[in-house]
Structure 1
Amino acid sequence: MTDAVRPGRAGRVAKLPPRERILDAAEELFHSEGIRGVGVQAIAEKAGTTKAALYRHFDTKDALAAQWLLIVAADYTSAFDKIEERWPDDPRAQIQGLAAFIADSLSEISHRGCPFINSLAELPDRSHPARQVIEAHKAQQLRRLTAMCTAAGLTDPEGAAAEITFALEGAQVSAQNGSVDHVGERLIAFVEAVMGWHGA
Protein backbone atom coordinates (compact mmCIF):
# COMPACT_ATOMS: atom_id res chain seq x y z
CA MET A 1 0.00 0.00 0.00
CA THR A 2 0.92 3.59 -0.10
CA ASP A 3 1.92 6.38 2.19
CA ALA A 4 -0.08 8.93 0.26
CA VAL A 5 -2.42 9.79 3.12
CA ARG A 6 0.26 10.17 5.72
CA PRO A 7 1.09 13.83 6.38
CA GLY A 8 4.74 13.16 5.70
CA ARG A 9 7.85 14.19 7.58
CA ALA A 10 9.05 16.58 4.88
CA GLY A 11 8.15 20.23 5.24
CA ARG A 12 7.93 20.26 9.03
CA VAL A 13 9.45 23.00 11.13
CA ALA A 14 13.13 23.50 10.48
CA LYS A 15 14.32 23.55 14.10
CA LEU A 16 14.48 19.81 14.64
CA PRO A 17 17.28 17.61 15.98
CA PRO A 18 19.80 16.58 13.28
CA ARG A 19 18.48 13.02 13.03
CA GLU A 20 14.95 14.28 12.36
CA ARG A 21 16.16 16.80 9.79
CA ILE A 22 18.10 14.06 8.02
CA LEU A 23 15.01 11.85 7.87
CA ASP A 24 12.93 14.76 6.56
CA ALA A 25 15.47 15.50 3.86
CA ALA A 26 15.82 11.83 2.94
CA GLU A 27 12.06 11.43 2.60
CA GLU A 28 11.76 14.38 0.26
CA LEU A 29 14.75 13.40 -1.88
CA PHE A 30 14.00 9.66 -1.98
CA HIS A 31 10.45 10.48 -3.10
CA SER A 32 11.50 12.90 -5.83
CA GLU A 33 14.70 11.28 -7.09
CA GLY A 34 14.71 7.70 -5.82
CA ILE A 35 17.02 5.99 -3.37
CA ARG A 36 19.73 5.27 -5.93
CA GLY A 37 19.52 8.75 -7.44
CA VAL A 38 20.32 10.58 -4.20
CA GLY A 39 23.75 10.91 -2.66
CA VAL A 40 24.61 11.29 1.01
CA GLN A 41 26.03 14.76 0.37
CA ALA A 42 22.73 15.96 -1.12
CA ILE A 43 20.80 14.62 1.89
CA ALA A 44 23.20 16.27 4.32
CA GLU A 45 22.98 19.61 2.52
CA LYS A 46 19.20 19.53 2.42
CA ALA A 47 19.13 18.69 6.13
CA GLY A 48 21.45 21.60 6.90
CA THR A 49 24.13 19.32 8.32
CA THR A 50 27.26 17.45 7.23
CA LYS A 51 28.02 13.99 5.91
CA ALA A 52 29.92 13.27 9.10
CA ALA A 53 26.83 14.14 11.17
CA LEU A 54 24.65 11.96 8.94
CA TYR A 55 26.99 9.00 9.44
CA ARG A 56 26.88 9.52 13.21
CA HIS A 57 23.15 8.73 13.07
CA PHE A 58 23.06 6.23 10.18
CA ASP A 59 25.90 3.85 9.35
CA THR A 60 25.12 3.88 5.62
CA LYS A 61 22.69 5.39 3.15
CA ASP A 62 21.07 1.95 2.95
CA ALA A 63 20.42 2.08 6.70
CA LEU A 64 18.90 5.55 6.29
CA ALA A 65 16.62 4.28 3.51
CA ALA A 66 15.55 1.35 5.67
CA GLN A 67 14.74 3.66 8.58
CA TRP A 68 12.67 5.92 6.32
CA LEU A 69 10.66 2.93 5.09
CA LEU A 70 10.19 1.69 8.66
CA ILE A 71 8.53 5.03 9.42
CA VAL A 72 6.28 4.71 6.35
CA ALA A 73 5.40 1.14 7.35
CA ALA A 74 4.59 2.24 10.90
CA ASP A 75 2.15 4.80 9.51
CA TYR A 76 0.36 2.02 7.63
CA THR A 77 0.26 -0.17 10.72
CA SER A 78 -1.35 2.74 12.54
CA ALA A 79 -3.92 3.12 9.74
CA PHE A 80 -4.84 -0.59 10.05
CA ASP A 81 -5.16 -0.16 13.80
CA LYS A 82 -7.52 2.80 13.39
CA ILE A 83 -9.67 0.92 10.88
CA GLU A 84 -10.00 -2.03 13.26
CA GLU A 85 -10.76 0.30 16.19
CA ARG A 86 -13.45 2.12 14.19
CA TRP A 87 -15.31 -1.10 13.35
CA PRO A 88 -14.24 -3.49 16.14
CA ASP A 89 -17.03 -6.02 15.56
CA ASP A 90 -17.52 -5.66 11.81
CA PRO A 91 -14.69 -7.21 9.77
CA ARG A 92 -16.56 -6.61 6.50
CA ALA A 93 -16.64 -2.87 7.31
CA GLN A 94 -12.93 -3.08 8.15
CA ILE A 95 -12.18 -4.47 4.69
CA GLN A 96 -14.33 -1.78 3.09
CA GLY A 97 -12.57 0.82 5.23
CA LEU A 98 -9.21 -0.42 4.03
CA ALA A 99 -10.29 -0.10 0.40
CA ALA A 100 -11.62 3.41 1.07
CA PHE A 101 -8.34 4.33 2.80
CA ILE A 102 -6.37 3.41 -0.32
CA ALA A 103 -8.94 4.93 -2.70
CA ASP A 104 -8.72 8.25 -0.86
CA SER A 105 -4.93 8.27 -1.25
CA LEU A 106 -4.80 7.70 -4.99
CA SER A 107 -4.79 11.35 -6.08
CA GLU A 108 -1.51 11.92 -4.25
CA ILE A 109 -0.07 8.65 -5.53
CA SER A 110 -0.60 9.92 -9.07
CA HIS A 111 1.90 12.69 -8.29
CA ARG A 112 4.45 11.08 -5.98
CA GLY A 113 4.03 7.35 -6.43
CA CYS A 114 4.03 4.69 -3.73
CA PRO A 115 7.35 4.66 -1.83
CA PHE A 116 7.25 0.87 -1.50
CA ILE A 117 6.60 0.24 -5.20
CA ASN A 118 9.14 2.87 -6.24
CA SER A 119 11.78 1.51 -3.87
CA LEU A 120 11.27 -2.14 -4.89
CA ALA A 121 11.98 -1.18 -8.49
CA GLU A 122 15.36 0.17 -7.39
CA LEU A 123 16.32 -2.65 -5.02
CA PRO A 124 16.54 -6.02 -6.80
CA ASP A 125 18.81 -7.47 -4.09
CA ARG A 126 16.53 -9.14 -1.53
CA SER A 127 19.23 -8.82 1.13
CA HIS A 128 19.12 -5.02 0.96
CA PRO A 129 17.90 -3.75 4.37
CA ALA A 130 15.32 -1.40 2.84
CA ARG A 131 13.88 -4.18 0.67
CA GLN A 132 13.68 -6.43 3.73
CA VAL A 133 11.63 -3.74 5.49
CA ILE A 134 9.19 -3.64 2.56
CA GLU A 135 8.85 -7.41 2.31
CA ALA A 136 8.25 -7.78 6.06
CA HIS A 137 5.71 -4.96 6.00
CA LYS A 138 3.79 -6.41 3.04
CA ALA A 139 3.74 -9.89 4.62
CA GLN A 140 2.35 -8.44 7.85
CA GLN A 141 -0.34 -6.52 5.98
CA LEU A 142 -1.41 -9.66 4.14
CA ARG A 143 -1.65 -11.55 7.44
CA ARG A 144 -3.86 -8.84 8.93
CA LEU A 145 -6.07 -8.71 5.85
CA THR A 146 -6.38 -12.51 5.88
CA ALA A 147 -7.48 -12.31 9.53
CA MET A 148 -10.15 -9.76 8.54
CA CYS A 149 -11.37 -12.05 5.75
CA THR A 150 -11.47 -15.01 8.16
CA ALA A 151 -13.44 -12.99 10.72
CA ALA A 152 -15.83 -11.87 7.96
CA GLY A 153 -16.66 -15.53 7.28
CA LEU A 154 -15.34 -15.59 3.72
CA THR A 155 -15.16 -19.11 2.35
CA ASP A 156 -11.54 -18.81 1.20
CA PRO A 157 -9.98 -16.09 3.37
CA GLU A 158 -6.45 -16.61 2.04
CA GLY A 159 -7.64 -16.40 -1.55
CA ALA A 160 -9.85 -13.40 -0.84
CA ALA A 161 -7.01 -11.58 0.93
CA ALA A 162 -4.70 -12.25 -2.03
CA GLU A 163 -7.28 -10.97 -4.53
CA ILE A 164 -7.94 -7.83 -2.46
CA THR A 165 -4.18 -7.27 -2.18
CA PHE A 166 -3.87 -7.55 -5.97
CA ALA A 167 -6.59 -4.91 -6.27
CA LEU A 168 -5.04 -2.54 -3.73
CA GLU A 169 -1.57 -2.79 -5.26
CA GLY A 170 -2.86 -2.62 -8.82
CA ALA A 171 -4.97 0.45 -8.08
CA GLN A 172 -1.90 2.29 -6.82
CA VAL A 173 0.13 1.45 -9.91
CA SER A 174 -2.77 2.39 -12.19
CA ALA A 175 -3.15 5.74 -10.42
CA GLN A 176 0.57 6.35 -10.74
CA ASN A 177 0.72 5.62 -14.47
CA GLY A 178 -2.68 7.14 -15.31
CA SER A 179 -3.85 4.11 -17.27
CA VAL A 180 -7.29 3.71 -15.67
CA ASP A 181 -9.91 6.33 -14.92
CA HIS A 182 -12.06 6.39 -11.75
CA VAL A 183 -9.55 4.09 -10.06
CA GLY A 184 -10.84 4.68 -6.52
CA GLU A 185 -14.45 3.87 -7.38
CA ARG A 186 -13.41 0.79 -9.34
CA LEU A 187 -11.22 -0.38 -6.46
CA ILE A 188 -14.05 -0.14 -3.92
CA ALA A 189 -16.46 -1.93 -6.27
CA PHE A 190 -13.92 -4.69 -6.92
CA VAL A 191 -13.28 -5.30 -3.22
CA GLU A 192 -17.05 -5.54 -2.67
CA ALA A 193 -17.22 -8.04 -5.53
CA VAL A 194 -14.42 -10.16 -4.02
CA MET A 195 -16.33 -10.40 -0.74
CA GLY A 196 -19.43 -11.43 -2.71
CA TRP A 197 -17.55 -14.11 -4.62
CA HIS A 198 -16.33 -15.60 -1.38
CA GLY A 199 -19.74 -15.73 0.20
CA ALA A 200 -19.78 -12.81 2.63
Structure 2
Amino acid sequence: MSMLDALADPAAPVVGHPRRDGGQSEAARRILAAAAPRFYLDGIRAVSADAVMAAAEVTKATFYRHFPTKNHLVAAYLATMSAAEQHTVSTWRAQHPGDPGAVLRRYAETLASQACGAGFRGCPFLNALAEYPEAENPVRTVVDGHRRWMLATTTQLLTELGLADARGTALALVMLRDGAMVADATPELVGTALTSAGAVLVHAARHSR
Protein backbone atom coordinates (compact mmCIF):
# COMPACT_ATOMS: atom_id res chain seq x y z
CA MET A 1 0.00 0.00 0.00
CA SER A 2 1.37 3.42 -0.92
CA MET A 3 1.66 6.20 1.62
CA LEU A 4 -1.15 8.17 0.01
CA ASP A 5 -3.35 5.07 0.08
CA ALA A 6 -2.48 4.58 3.73
CA LEU A 7 -3.45 8.18 4.50
CA ALA A 8 -6.81 7.66 2.81
CA ASP A 9 -7.42 4.34 4.57
CA PRO A 10 -10.47 4.33 6.87
CA ALA A 11 -8.25 3.08 9.69
CA ALA A 12 -5.69 5.88 9.29
CA PRO A 13 -4.99 7.53 12.65
CA VAL A 14 -5.28 11.28 13.08
CA VAL A 15 -1.72 12.62 13.14
CA GLY A 16 -0.41 15.94 14.33
CA HIS A 17 -2.69 18.48 15.97
CA PRO A 18 -6.31 17.58 15.08
CA ARG A 19 -8.95 20.01 13.86
CA ARG A 20 -11.45 21.31 16.39
CA ASP A 21 -13.86 18.54 15.41
CA GLY A 22 -11.16 15.94 16.01
CA GLY A 23 -10.53 15.28 12.33
CA GLN A 24 -7.28 15.24 10.40
CA SER A 25 -5.64 18.62 9.88
CA GLU A 26 -4.91 19.29 6.21
CA ALA A 27 -1.51 20.78 7.09
CA ALA A 28 -0.50 17.72 9.10
CA ARG A 29 -1.70 15.44 6.31
CA ARG A 30 0.36 17.43 3.81
CA ILE A 31 3.47 17.23 6.01
CA LEU A 32 3.10 13.47 6.38
CA ALA A 33 2.43 12.97 2.67
CA ALA A 34 5.59 14.94 1.85
CA ALA A 35 7.75 13.14 4.42
CA ALA A 36 6.72 9.52 4.04
CA PRO A 37 8.02 8.73 0.53
CA ARG A 38 11.28 10.50 1.32
CA PHE A 39 11.70 8.59 4.58
CA TYR A 40 11.12 5.33 2.75
CA LEU A 41 13.22 5.95 -0.37
CA ASP A 42 16.11 7.96 1.07
CA GLY A 43 16.28 6.78 4.68
CA ILE A 44 14.75 8.51 7.68
CA ARG A 45 17.86 10.15 9.10
CA ALA A 46 18.88 11.39 5.64
CA VAL A 47 15.73 13.52 5.35
CA SER A 48 15.80 16.75 7.34
CA ALA A 49 12.84 18.49 8.89
CA ASP A 50 13.67 21.54 6.76
CA ALA A 51 13.42 19.45 3.57
CA VAL A 52 10.00 18.18 4.65
CA MET A 53 8.80 21.71 5.43
CA ALA A 54 9.88 22.89 1.99
CA ALA A 55 8.19 19.97 0.22
CA ALA A 56 4.98 20.40 2.23
CA GLU A 57 5.09 24.19 1.85
CA VAL A 58 4.55 24.87 5.54
CA THR A 59 6.26 27.19 7.99
CA LYS A 60 8.38 26.02 10.90
CA ALA A 61 5.64 27.17 13.28
CA THR A 62 3.09 25.01 11.49
CA PHE A 63 5.42 22.02 11.34
CA TYR A 64 6.32 22.09 15.02
CA ARG A 65 2.74 22.72 16.11
CA HIS A 66 1.85 19.35 14.61
CA PHE A 67 5.12 17.49 15.21
CA PRO A 68 7.19 18.83 18.13
CA THR A 69 10.21 16.85 16.91
CA LYS A 70 11.15 14.97 13.77
CA ASN A 71 10.80 11.75 15.76
CA HIS A 72 7.12 12.53 16.29
CA LEU A 73 6.69 12.80 12.52
CA VAL A 74 8.53 9.51 11.92
CA ALA A 75 6.36 7.81 14.54
CA ALA A 76 3.23 9.18 12.82
CA TYR A 77 4.45 7.86 9.46
CA LEU A 78 5.00 4.37 10.85
CA ALA A 79 1.76 4.39 12.85
CA THR A 80 -0.15 5.23 9.67
CA MET A 81 1.49 2.37 7.79
CA SER A 82 0.83 -0.01 10.67
CA ALA A 83 -2.85 0.93 10.87
CA ALA A 84 -3.23 0.40 7.12
CA GLU A 85 -1.66 -3.07 7.28
CA GLN A 86 -3.79 -4.05 10.25
CA HIS A 87 -6.93 -2.89 8.45
CA THR A 88 -5.97 -4.89 5.35
CA VAL A 89 -5.46 -8.09 7.34
CA SER A 90 -8.73 -7.53 9.20
CA THR A 91 -10.49 -7.18 5.84
CA TRP A 92 -8.97 -10.46 4.62
CA ARG A 93 -10.11 -12.21 7.78
CA ALA A 94 -13.64 -10.93 7.22
CA GLN A 95 -13.53 -12.12 3.60
CA HIS A 96 -12.32 -15.60 4.62
CA PRO A 97 -14.23 -16.46 7.79
CA GLY A 98 -13.12 -19.76 9.25
CA ASP A 99 -10.24 -20.07 6.77
CA PRO A 100 -7.05 -18.76 8.43
CA GLY A 101 -4.95 -20.54 5.80
CA ALA A 102 -6.45 -18.34 3.08
CA VAL A 103 -5.52 -15.23 5.07
CA LEU A 104 -1.93 -16.42 5.46
CA ARG A 105 -1.71 -17.19 1.73
CA ARG A 106 -3.02 -13.75 0.80
CA TYR A 107 -0.47 -12.14 3.08
CA ALA A 108 2.33 -14.15 1.45
CA GLU A 109 1.15 -13.31 -2.08
CA THR A 110 0.82 -9.61 -1.30
CA LEU A 111 4.21 -9.57 0.40
CA ALA A 112 5.86 -11.19 -2.60
CA SER A 113 4.28 -8.69 -4.97
CA GLN A 114 5.43 -5.74 -2.88
CA ALA A 115 8.92 -7.11 -2.27
CA CYS A 116 9.67 -7.26 -5.98
CA GLY A 117 7.80 -4.15 -7.08
CA ALA A 118 9.24 -0.94 -8.46
CA GLY A 119 10.59 1.38 -5.79
CA PHE A 120 10.74 -1.32 -3.12
CA ARG A 121 13.25 -0.43 -0.41
CA GLY A 122 12.53 -3.12 2.14
CA CYS A 123 10.19 -3.25 5.11
CA PRO A 124 9.64 0.28 6.49
CA PHE A 125 9.52 -1.09 10.04
CA LEU A 126 12.76 -3.06 9.74
CA ASN A 127 14.38 -0.04 8.08
CA ALA A 128 13.31 2.17 10.97
CA LEU A 129 14.51 -0.42 13.49
CA ALA A 130 17.97 -0.29 11.95
CA GLU A 131 18.05 3.52 12.16
CA TYR A 132 16.51 3.80 15.63
CA PRO A 133 17.92 1.03 17.85
CA GLU A 134 17.30 2.95 21.09
CA ALA A 135 14.60 1.09 23.05
CA GLU A 136 13.02 4.23 24.53
CA ASN A 137 12.80 6.18 21.28
CA PRO A 138 9.17 6.88 20.22
CA VAL A 139 9.97 5.58 16.75
CA ARG A 140 11.16 2.26 18.20
CA THR A 141 7.98 2.11 20.30
CA VAL A 142 5.81 2.17 17.17
CA VAL A 143 7.99 -0.42 15.41
CA ASP A 144 7.90 -2.76 18.40
CA GLY A 145 4.13 -2.36 18.66
CA HIS A 146 3.64 -3.26 15.02
CA ARG A 147 5.83 -6.34 15.30
CA ARG A 148 3.99 -7.47 18.42
CA TRP A 149 0.73 -7.17 16.48
CA MET A 150 2.19 -9.14 13.58
CA LEU A 151 3.35 -11.97 15.85
CA ALA A 152 0.10 -12.02 17.83
CA THR A 153 -2.06 -12.06 14.69
CA THR A 154 -0.01 -14.85 13.11
CA THR A 155 -0.22 -16.81 16.36
CA GLN A 156 -4.00 -16.40 16.41
CA LEU A 157 -4.35 -17.57 12.81
CA LEU A 158 -2.18 -20.63 13.49
CA THR A 159 -4.15 -21.39 16.65
CA GLU A 160 -7.30 -21.40 14.49
CA LEU A 161 -5.50 -23.91 12.25
CA GLY A 162 -5.15 -26.18 15.29
CA LEU A 163 -1.39 -25.91 15.88
CA ALA A 164 -0.31 -26.73 19.41
CA ASP A 165 2.85 -24.58 19.24
CA ALA A 166 1.19 -21.73 17.39
CA ARG A 167 3.43 -19.04 18.86
CA GLY A 168 6.67 -20.84 18.05
CA THR A 169 5.55 -21.45 14.49
CA ALA A 170 4.34 -17.86 14.21
CA LEU A 171 7.78 -16.61 15.22
CA ALA A 172 9.35 -18.79 12.51
CA LEU A 173 6.90 -17.42 9.92
CA VAL A 174 7.66 -13.83 10.92
CA MET A 175 11.37 -14.57 10.54
CA LEU A 176 10.61 -16.05 7.11
CA ARG A 177 8.67 -12.91 6.23
CA ASP A 178 11.61 -10.73 7.27
CA GLY A 179 13.89 -12.77 5.01
CA ALA A 180 11.54 -12.27 2.07
CA MET A 181 12.00 -8.52 2.48
CA VAL A 182 15.58 -8.82 1.25
CA ALA A 183 15.16 -11.58 -1.34
CA ASP A 184 16.53 -10.70 -4.77
CA ALA A 185 14.12 -12.59 -7.06
CA THR A 186 10.94 -12.25 -9.08
CA PRO A 187 7.54 -11.94 -7.32
CA GLU A 188 6.67 -15.45 -8.53
CA LEU A 189 9.80 -17.00 -7.02
CA VAL A 190 9.51 -15.08 -3.76
CA GLY A 191 5.82 -15.93 -3.49
CA THR A 192 6.42 -19.61 -4.21
CA ALA A 193 9.33 -19.84 -1.79
CA LEU A 194 7.47 -17.99 0.95
CA THR A 195 4.32 -20.07 0.56
CA SER A 196 6.21 -23.38 0.27
CA ALA A 197 8.49 -22.72 3.22
CA GLY A 198 5.56 -21.53 5.30
CA ALA A 199 3.61 -24.68 4.43
CA VAL A 200 6.58 -26.82 5.50
CA LEU A 201 6.74 -25.04 8.87
CA VAL A 202 3.01 -25.45 9.45
CA HIS A 203 3.09 -29.12 8.38
CA ALA A 204 6.02 -29.83 10.70
CA ALA A 205 4.26 -28.13 13.61
CA ARG A 206 1.10 -30.13 12.98
CA HIS A 207 2.99 -33.43 13.06
CA SER A 208 5.43 -32.69 15.84
CA ARG A 209 5.20 -34.64 19.07
Q: What interval of TM-score do these two structures reach, taking the shorter chain for normalisation?
A: 0.7 to 0.9
For 2:200, the equivalent position in structure 1 comes to 193
Partner of 1:8: 3
SS across alignment from 1:173: coil
Asked if structure 1 preserves the Cα contact closer than 8 Å seen for 2:114 and 2:120, the reply is no
CA contact (8 A) 2:93 2:103 kept: yes
Matches within 5 A, 1:41-80: 41-80=50-89
Deviation at 1:122, TM superposition (A): 0.6
Structure-1 separation of matches of 2:37 and 2:103:
31
SS of equivalent residue, structure 1 residue 195: helix
Among 113, 118, 122, the residue aligned to 2:127? 118
Question: SS where residue 37 of structure 2 aligns?
Answer: helix
Q: 1:94-117 CA distances to partner (integer Å, 9 max, x unpaired)? A: 222222221222123763322111
Q: Residue 96 of structure 1 contacts residue 192 of structure 1 at CA under 8 Å; is this kept in 2?
A: no
Match of 2:32 in 1: 23
Contact 1:41 1:50 in 2 (8 A): no
**AA in 2 matched with 1:125:** E
Q: Give the deviation of 1:173 after TM superposition.
A: 2.0
Give the aligned partner of residue 39 of structure 1.
Answer: 48
* Number of residues of Structure 1 aligned to a counterpart in Structure 2: 187
Q: Which runs of 4+ in 1 moved over 6 A?
A: none
Q: Tell me, in whole angstroms, the C-alpha distance in 1 between the residues paired with 2:163 and 2:103.
A: 13
Counterpart Cα distance in 2 of 1:110 and 1:27: 13
Shift of 1:197: 1.1
Per the alignment, do residues 20 and 7 of structure 1 end up closer, same or farther by CA in structure 2, a change over 3 Å counting?
same
Are 1:154 and 1:198, in contact at CA under 8 Å, matched by a contact in 2?
yes
- Determine which of 74, 85, 91 is the counterpart of 1:82: 91
Kept in 1, the 8 Å contact 2:41–2:119? The answer is no
Q: 2:170 aligns with which of 152, 161, 169?
A: 161
Q: Could you say what secondary structure the match of 1:112 adopts?
A: coil
Describe the superposition over 1:8-53 as per-residue Cα deviations: whole angstroms up to 9, x where unpaired: 228x9xxx92111100111022112211111111000000112221
- The one of 160, 184, 190 equivalent to 1:183 is 190
Contact 1:96–1:188 (CA under 8 A) maintained in structure 2: yes
Checking the alignment, whether the CA contact within 8 Å between 1:106 and 1:184 is kept in structure 2 is no
Name 1:3's counterpart in structure 2.
none
Q: Distance in 2 between matches of 1:124 and 1:58?
A: 21
Q: Secondary structure at the match of 2:125?
A: helix
Alignment RMSD: 2.0
Secondary structure in structure 2 of the residue aligned to 1:111: coil
Percent same amino acid among aligned pairs? 32
The aligned residue for residue 148 of structure 2 is 139
